């Protein structure tokens, strides 16, 4: 497996708009495998290609139910509202309160460039919104209500 370097806040690549994937190539297949490896290694629930320096509209997500790969994803339906803590592998160690839709339907292409649709609630809906924002150069830190705060793990105190 090949881990890619996760770009962090301030890196210009994170604020640019990504381009759609036109065709599946060996290079893109390798990128997707690397993105999944990088996401799992960093213990993240989602990763977008610009976070590893590639301005292509590709997202990987796993909220604990197995990997989801989205190519050229679009939100086609959003409803409800949830407010909760959100973090990002590009802003390590921090989190902040963000309001997102509670139910999101996404249309995308899979790794075979076939159309797929996913519906997500709660954490998955949040992940769809957060990762698709990355493809438009948007960071969740601009949406945080109140202050960003340092993530604390209960384990550290034991
Ligand atoms: Ni992120």
| Backbone torsion region of residue 132, taken as left when φ is above 0, otherwise alpha when ψ lies between -120 and 50, otherwise beta | alpha
pTM for the whole structure: 0.94
**pLDDT tens track for 50-83:** 999 999 999 999 999 999 999 999 999 999 999 9
The angle formed by the CA atoms of residues 108, 131 and 92, to the nearest 5 degrees, is: 155
For the chain, give every domain's residue range.
12-157
Distance of CA 112 from the midpoint of ligand 1 (Å): 25
Q: Encode pLDDT of 122-135 as tens digits.
A: 999 999 999 999 99
Mean pLDDT (whole number) for 103-121: 98
CA of 67 to the centre of ligand 1 (A): 16
Does the domain spanning 12-157 belong to CATH 3.90.45.10?
A: yes
pLDDT at 145: 96
Catalytic: 131?
A: yes
Q: What is the pLDDT of residues 87-99, one digit of tens each?
A: 999 999 999 999 9
User: Can you spell out the DSSP letters for the chain?
Assistant: --PPPPP-TT-GGGGSPPBPP-S--HHHHHHHHHHHHHHHHTT-SEEEGGGGT--BSEEEE-SSS--EEEEEEEEEEEES-EEEEE--TTSTTEEEEEEE-SEEEEEEE-TTS-EEEEEEEHHHHHHHHHHHHHHTT--GGGT-EEEEEE---GGGG-
**Is the model's pLDDT at 154 over the cut of 70?**
no
20-33 pLDDT, tens digit per residue, is: 999 999 999 999 99
């Amino acid at each position: 497996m090949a881990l890619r370097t996760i770009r962090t806040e301030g890196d210009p690549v994170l604020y640019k708009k990504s381009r759609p994937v036109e065709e599946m190539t060996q290079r893109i297949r390798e990128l997707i495998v690397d993105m999944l490896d990088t996401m799992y290694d960093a213990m993240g629930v989602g990763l977008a290609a610009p976070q590893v320096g590639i301005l292509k509209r590709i997202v990987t997500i796993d909220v604990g139910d197995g990997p989801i790969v989205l190519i050229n994803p679009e939100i086609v339906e959003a409803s409800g509202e949830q407010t909760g803590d959100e973090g990002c592998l590009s802003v390590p160690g921090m989190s902040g309160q963000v309001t997102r839709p509670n139910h999101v339907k996404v249309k995308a292409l899979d790794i075979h460039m076939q159309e797929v649709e996913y519906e997500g609630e709660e954490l998955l809906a949040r992940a769809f919104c957060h990762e698709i924002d990355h493809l438009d150069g948007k960071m969740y830190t601009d949406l945080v209500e109140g202050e960003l705060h340092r993530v604390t793990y209960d384990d550290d105190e034991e």
